[in-house]
Chain A
Amino acid sequence: MSYEMIGITVLWIFLYGYLIVASVDFGAGFFAYYAKTTKQDHIINQLISRYLSPVWEVTNVFFVFFFVGLVGFFPDSAYYFGQSLLIPGSIAIVLIAIRGSFYAFENYGSKKSNFFMFLYGATGLLIPASLSTAMTISEGGFIEETDNGVRLLTGELLTSPYSWSVVFLAIVSVLFISAAFLTFYASKANDQPALELMRKYTLFWGSPTIIASLTTFIAMSQHNARHFEKMLDLWWMFGLSVAFFLGALLLVYQQKRYGLAFIFVMFQFFFAFFGYGAGHLPYLIEPFITVESSVTNEAMGLALVIVFIAGLLLLIPSLILLMRMFLFDAEYVKGKK
């Protein structure tokens, strides 16, 4: 396998990882705030804070890992994304910064204040919206290259149905993934009232997720026919995605196997995300750079791959330790430790 394929595969897996763990985190923030305003916070907030306390930093690292890896494997992308994403990128940084630090402030520091909860809930929806801009502009048609460098066509971006359908999809997916995970976590913790509530949220956010996916498909066919055609060739991946989605909903509806249901949700997004990504190739940012044209030199490619493998050997045991101590430690989940 060539370095560009190794690189893009590794990065895509990490972006997928970020999509899942960050969605759980972002959605949890929204649910926590929503529960508070509807006076149901006594039911789920304990649960949410027990999950999030030990892992919020890890979530952030997934993201850092992705963009540092992107610049490493595909240095040209630093130039194109960097030049065009100054404003959406900065907004995303500010939101992530507020969210991360105020989460820590509130959790370790003072009492729960409504304002912190609001920030926490709102940023959870705004961050995916602003980050999705990077995906959107990679489809082409939103940046131009002039003598003065690359620049973002803000007007096009803000009036494009495709760009808005991606934003919508990002937000509802976050809520759906998060609800599915928290349903599973509540069942693990044997917290019946929380389980009931989260189960309802999961069933509720299922349909907008599938509607948003369809809308995005349609908008994509209008915006980038090449990518759309390639995705149609990979129809089976999207078929599997829908099948896993239905399977997950069925399990949650029948009130059984919540763990399996969440794994189905992960597969649902795995196939959709990789189907989308495979269709995107060979372009990294259409039509400016392909993975092949922008890949780093061989020496750096090799060094990065070696470091990546060594890094995984270090991180995987550590992550397993973290999960065993918190996520899968039944006593901890139930709040006894």
Chain B
Amino acid sequence: MELDSAMMSRMLTSLTLVFHIIFATVGVGIPVMVSIAEFIGIKKKDANYTLLARRWARGFTITVAVGVVTGTAIGLQLSLLWPKFMQFAGNVIALPLFMETFAFFFEAIFLGIYLYTWDRFKNPIYHWLLSIPVVIGATMSAFFITTVNAFMNTPQGFDLEGRTLTNVDPLAAMFNPATPTKVFHVVSSSYLTSAAILAAIAAFAILKKNASDYHKKALKLTMVATFIFAITTAIAGDLSAKFLANEQPEKLAAAEWHFETEKNADLIVFGTLNEDNEVENALRLPNALSFLAHGSFDSEVTGLNEFPEDETPPLWIHYMFDLMVMLGMYALGVSFLYLLFSKLKKWNENNKWLLWLIVINGPGAMLAIEFGWIFAEVGRQPWILRGFMKVAEGATTSPHVDWMFVLFLALYVVLGGGAISVLRKMFKNNPAELELEKRYPDVAKRGGHK
């Protein structure tokens, strides 16, 4: 592996994205959870939920700050590291990029208002209404940015005559074949991950302290949300696989180690490859890949051997795919178990083992996001714009990218460490029970430990 400018640009972009995606994901999902909690609090007249919304929103200010600054970083890095790609992309896919800044602007304005107006309205529903533009802005940001990523996978909406672009159609570029499934998958998994992380925090609090009403209600709400979003994410994942089979078959084939085009294709789970690219030690699910790809067990799935070798992605993405799916299934399973336990009277949904499984699910869901994005991005290799521009052609020729890598690595260490320590301090010195007593004294007296 040669560490030239193109390779270093890839590494720096990966570094920024791996870090940014954590904050982007919770940035899309947490507003939804905050809004739901505040709404339930108003409807049920239960200050526990209102306090939940308040505390989540407070923690959110920290993650959103890091999300904003790292988002600014990746926005600029696209031009600094991939100038030729952005020159091309600017002509065809600038529209959603531009719209994303509006969505983000809209969200930022209302988030600012939302955070500072908790006690300014007589009727609390007005304050809740302010959360709606935040939710819309955050989700629309995800939508617009994801269309750009979708475009990189299935570019359309232009003709290339030599090196000149003609017949540019910005809307066709934006609504390319990859857009629907990708947007659905990204938005749904962001909601899922945010709910899972908030659930993990609630479960952890119950494990470490006594189970107060506040934490039990938090856990119940977040676990129901996790279950619902895990189902929608599974559906989105299935649709994404079917999209890949039709529009980007080399990516699916590489992810599944499916070399020969065949009917009744087996799904390979984990395993290893020997020197002749033969699969060993794997779990084979007969005909399952055909079903995953086209919805019937005897359909034909295109194999990797149909593609020129220099236009196929590296085979290790198979593990990324499998890990992502496994963690997604885990989220679905754990939330199902919790709901089952809470329905059956004689089982205790707050038992220690189940709580630990829920705690693990938080970081697990975030890892699934990381694996999923690594799969999505590496699975597009060697292209930066599939079929039109290879990664190496889009990169900067500036020789100093290596130093910038070191600079940004240091930045992300500082930002990550800062965010963790501030969040810990924020909640450690101000436990929910105390805050409940302070802000809503009558609720705290009535409730307590049932």
Stretch of A96-104, A238-246, A266-274 at the chain-chain interface? A96-104
Query: What's the tally of chain B residues with a CB closer than 8 Å to chain A?
Result: 73
The residues of A that contact B171 with a CB separation of less than 8 Å are 303
Flag whether A311 is at the interface (Cβ < 8 A).
yes
Contact A299 B83 (CB under 8 A): no
Write the nearest CB–CB distance from A53 to chain B, whole angstroms: 7
The verdict on A78 contacting B86 (CB below 8 Å), with A297-B91, A303-B95, A325-B113 known, is: yes
Contact B70 A87 (CB under 8 A): no
Flag whether B426 is at the interface (Cβ < 8 A).
yes
Bound form: Cα–Cα A109–B65 in Å: 12
Please provide the chain A residues from 93 to 119 with a CB less than 8 Å away from any CB of chain B in the complex.
93-94, 96-98, 100-105, 108-110
- Chain B 388-430 near chain A by CB (<8 Å), digits 1 or 0: 0000000011101101100110010011001100110110000
Across the two chains, which residue of chain B brings its CB closest to A81? B79
Contact B97 A108 (CB under 8 A): no
Write the nearest CB–CB distance from B96 to chain A, whole angstroms: 9
Contact A58 B72 (CB under 8 A): no
The residues of B that contact A100 with a CB separation of less than 8 Å are 65, 68-69, 72
Bound form: Cα–Cα A87–B80 in Å: 9
Contact B401 A86 (CB under 8 A): yes
Contact A105 B418 (CB under 8 A): yes
The residues of B that contact A307 with a CB separation of less than 8 Å are 95, 98-99, 102
Flag whether B94 is at the interface (Cβ < 8 A).
yes
Contact B113 A101 (CB under 8 A): no
Across the two chains, which residue of chain A brings its CB closest to B96? A307
Flag whether A85 is at the interface (Cβ < 8 A).
yes
Contact A89 B169 (CB under 8 A): no
Residue picked from B65, B68, B97, B408, most chain A C-beta under 10 Å: B65
Contact A325 B396 (CB under 8 A): no
The verdict on A61 contacting B82 (CB below 8 Å), with A72-B95, A75-B88, A299-B170 known, is: no
Contact B79 A82 (CB under 8 A): yes
- Chain A 54-68 near chain B by CB (<8 Å), digits 1 or 0: 110110110111011
The residues of B that contact A94 with a CB separation of less than 8 Å are 407-408, 411
The verdict on A86 contacting B411 (CB below 8 Å), with A71-B86, A300-B94, A318-B110 known, is: no
Across the two chains, which residue of chain B brings its CB closest to A90? B404
Q: Which residues of chain B have a CB within 8 Å of any CB of chain A?
A: 58, 61-62, 64-66, 68-73, 75-77, 79-84, 86-92, 94-95, 97-102, 104-106, 108-113, 115-117, 120, 133, 165, 168-171, 396-398, 400-401, 403-404, 407-408, 411, 414-415, 418-419, 422-423, 425-426
Q: Which residues of chain A have a CB within 8 Å of any CB of chain B?
A: 53-55, 57-58, 60-61, 63-65, 67-69, 71-76, 78-83, 85-87, 89-94, 96-98, 100-105, 108-110, 148-149, 151-152, 296-297, 299-300, 303-304, 307-308, 311, 314-315, 318-319, 321-322, 325-326, 337
Instruction: Please give 9 more A-B residue pairs, beta carbons under 8 A apart, in addition to A53-B116, A326-B116.
Output: A71-B89, A79-B83, A79-B87, A93-B76, A94-B407, A97-B70, A98-B414, A101-B415, A307-B102
